[in-house]
C-alpha cells in the first residue's frame, strides 16, 4: 500500500462510510487517516468505528491514523413564539436572559457568558453569518443590537462572535466525556474545536495525559491573533476554513491558509487544510474545476494533509471523492513547478542537532541522488524533522511503536513501517536496506541514507547519518 504522493488524505466517516467494506475501500482509494466527528457520533459508535479501522489496519499491515474531532461549544439562540421572524436592516433587536420565547424584537440567548463579555461595537453573526448584528448597548443580562444585515431567523440558530473574546473553555462537559472515551479507545489525534488561546490546548493536553496528540482547529479570529502561542503548545494545526470564513472576511481565508501552512512547516508540525474541498462531490461523481484548483493549491503550498468532510461522511460518492483527491495529489507532485514552490518555501533549520542532521540528510540524498531517507524513530521526532525539509526522495520511518506510526500517518511524505527496534548500528543499517528494498523504495545496488538517534531508542536524539548500499548483504558505504 505504498502511496505515490506525499500529501496525506483525511477522510471523515459517517452514514455513507461506516461499515468495514467501505472503510477498506476508502483506505485502498487513498485515505491515510480517518476522522470521527463527535458532533454526530455516540461513544458506542465511535468504539465500533475504531475497532473496524484497527481490523483494516491489521489486514494491510500499515499504520492508519484515527482523528477524533470534538464538537466544541455550540452557541445558539433560544426559540421564537410564533415561528420564524424577519429581522429588517436598521431595526433594534434585543438578546436577553429571559427564558420566554422571542419575537421580531427580542430573543432569549441561553449563554450568560456572551451577554457578560459583549462590548459596544462587537458584531454577532447568526445562522452562519447570514444575519449580522452590531451591539449598541449592554447591561449584563441583556444586549441591545442593531440589525446590520437582516434576514429570516428561526429557533436555535447558531451565534458567532468574531470580535468578542469569550472567557470560556474550548471544551464543554460533552467534549470532556467524548475526549476520555476516545482516549480509552486508543485513538491517535484529537482535534480541538473553537480554540481561542494557547491555554485551551494546554487544558486538553492535561486531560489527555499523553494518550493522543492534539490538533488545534483554527477557526476564530481570536486564534489568529494568538497563532504562534497556539502553535507552540499544539502538535498540529487544522485550517478549519468553514467557520473561519464565517467569522472573518472570506477574502482573508486564502492568505491565512498560506500563513498557517508555512508557520506549521517552520515549526515542524503537521498542518491539515479542511472544509469544502470537494463539496460538490456530496451529490456529484465529479468535482468542479474550481474545487480541483483549491485542492491543488493546498498541495502546492506543501500542506501535510487535506481533508474530506461531508464528501466522504454523508455524500453519494465517498470512494470517488478520495480517489479524486489522490489523483490531484499525484498529478501536482509530478509537476516541476511543485518542486520549485516547495523548495522556495523551505525554512532555515532551527539551531538544534535534529534540524541540522535532517537538513544535511536531505542535502546529501539529493546531491548523491540516493533512493530514500530512512529514519529510525521511536517518538516520531526524527521523521517530523526530515519531513519538514520536504525532500525530493521518499521518506521511510521505521519505528517500534505502532502509536508513533499511526500519528505519522498524518505527516507529509512519511511512509511508516512498524518493526522491532534495531539491536545495534549494524542491525539498523541492514534492516533499513531490507525494508527499503521490500517496500519498493530502492533496488539492489542503490544507496539510501539512514538517520537515527544514538543511543538507539532515545526519543528526540537525532544525531547520526549513515549512507548504505541496498543489496544481499546491505554493505555499509
Catalytic residue among 275, 377, 382, 399: 275
Distance CA 366, CA 127 (A): 51
Q: Give pairs for 228-234: CB < 8 Å, separation 24+.
A: 228/263, 229/197, 229/198, 230/195, 230/197, 230/198, 230/200, 230/201, 231/263, 231/264, 231/267, 231/269, 232/198, 232/267, 233/198, 233/201, 233/202, 233/205, 234/201, 234/269
CA atoms within 13 A on the CB side of 382: 33
Query: Does 172 qualify as catalytic in the annotation?
Result: no
Helix 318-334 with 289-300: angle, nearest 10 deg: 50
Cell triple for 354: 535534529
Give whole-number Cα distances, 123 to 131, 144, 149, 253, in Å.
10, 12, 11, 19
Cell triple for 428: 539498523
Total Cβ atoms within 10 A of residue 409: 26
Query: Does 76 qualify as catalytic in the annotation?
Result: yes
Catalytic residue among 76, 130, 266, 346: 76
Catalytic residue among 217, 265, 385, 447: 217
Query: Does 275 qualify as catalytic in the annotation?
Result: yes
99 Cβ contact partners less than 8 Å away, ≥ 6 residues apart: 78, 108, 110
Helix 43-60 with 173-185: angle, nearest 10 deg: 30
Q: Is residue 224 within 8 Å of residue 240, measured between CB atoms?
A: no
Cell triple for 339: 518542486
Q: Is 143 helix (H, G, I), strand (E, B) or coil?
A: strand
Catalytic residue among 5, 6, 8, 35: 35
Query: Does 423 qualify as catalytic in the annotation?
Result: no
Cell triple for 472: 544481499
- The catalytic residue positions are 35, 76, 217, 275
Amino acid at each position: 500500500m505504498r502511496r505515490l504522493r506525499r500529501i496525506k488524505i483525511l477522510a471523515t466517516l459517517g452514514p455513507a462510510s461506516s461499515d468495514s467494506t467501505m472503510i477498506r475501500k476508502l483506505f485502498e482509494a487513498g485515505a491515510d487517516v480517518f476522522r470521527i466527528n463527535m458532533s454526530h457520533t455516540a461513544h458506542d459508535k465511535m468504539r465500533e468505528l475504531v475497532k473496524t479501522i484497527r481490523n483494516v489496519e491489521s489486514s494491510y499491515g500499515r499504520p492508519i491514523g484515527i482523528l477524533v474531532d470534538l464538537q466544541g461549544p455550540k452557541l445558539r439562540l433560544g426559540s421564537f413564539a410564533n415561528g420564524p421572524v424577519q429581522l429588517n436592516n436598521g431595526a433594534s433587536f434585543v438578546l436577553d436572559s429571559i427564558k420566554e420565547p422571542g419575537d421580531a424584537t427580542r430573543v432569549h440567548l441561553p449563554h450568560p457568558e456572551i451577554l457578560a463579555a459583549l462590548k459596544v461595537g462587537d458584531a454577532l453573526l447568526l445562522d452562519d453569518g447570514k444575519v449580522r448584528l452590531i451591539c449598541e448597548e449592554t447591561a449584563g443580562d441583556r444586549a441591545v443590537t442593531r440589525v446590520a444585515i437582516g434576514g429570516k431567523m428561526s429557533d436555535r440558530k447558531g451565534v458567532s462572535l468574531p470580535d468578542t473574546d469569550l472567557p470560556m473553555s474550548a471544551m464543554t462537559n460533552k467534549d470532556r466525556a467524548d475526549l476520555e472515551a476516545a482516549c480509552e479507545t486508543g485513538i491517535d489525534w484529537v482535534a480541538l474545536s473553537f480554540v481561542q488561546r494557547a491555554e485551551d490546548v494546554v487544558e486538553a493536553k492535561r486531560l489527555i495525559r499523553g494518550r493522543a496528540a492534539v490538533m488545534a482547529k483554527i477557526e476564530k479570529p481570536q486564534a489568529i491573533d494568538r497563532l504562534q502561542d497556539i502553535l507552540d503548545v499544539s502538535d498540529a494545526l487544522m485550517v478549519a476554513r468553514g467557520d473561519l470564513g464565517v467569522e472573518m472576511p472570506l477574502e482573508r481565508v486564502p492568505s491565512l491558509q498560506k500563513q498557517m501552512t508555512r508557520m506549521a512547516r517552520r515549526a515542524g508540525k503537521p498542518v491539515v487544510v479542511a472544509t469544502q474541498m470537494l463539496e460538490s462531490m456530496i451529490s456529484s461523481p465529479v468535482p468542479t474545476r474550481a474545487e480541483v484548483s483549491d485542492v491543488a493549491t493546498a498541495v502546492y503550498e506543501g500542506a501535510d494533509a487535506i481533508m474530506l468532510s461531508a464528501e466522504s461522511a454523508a455524500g453519494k460518492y465517498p470512494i470517488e471523492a478520495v480517489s479524486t483527491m489522490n489523483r490531484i495529489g499525484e498529478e501536482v507532485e509530478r509537476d516541476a513547478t511543485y518542486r520549485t514552490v516547495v523548495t522556495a518555501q523551505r525554512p532555515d533549520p532551527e539551531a538544534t542537532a535534529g534540524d541540522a542532521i535532517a537538513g544535511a540528510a536531505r542535502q546529501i540524498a539529493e546531491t548523491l541522488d540516493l533512493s530514500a531517507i530512512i529514519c529510525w524513530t521511536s517518538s516520531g521526532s526524527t521523521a517530523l524533522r526530515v519531513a519538514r525539509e520536504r525532500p525530493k526522495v521518499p521518506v521511510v520511518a521505521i519505528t517500534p511503536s505502532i502509536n508513533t506510526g499511526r500519528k505519522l500517518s498524518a505527516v507529509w511524505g512519511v511512509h511508516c513501517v512498524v518493526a522491532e527496534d534495531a539491536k545495534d548500528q549494524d542491525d539498523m543499517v541492514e534492516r533499513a536496506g531490507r525494508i527499503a528494498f521490500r517496500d519498493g523504495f530502492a533496488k539492489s545496488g542503490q544507496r539510501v541514507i539512514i538517520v537515527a538517534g544514538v543511543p538507539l531508542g532515545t526519543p528526540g536524539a537525532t544525531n547520526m547519518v549513515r549512507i548504505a548500499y541496498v543489496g544481499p548483504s546491505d554493505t555499509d558505504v
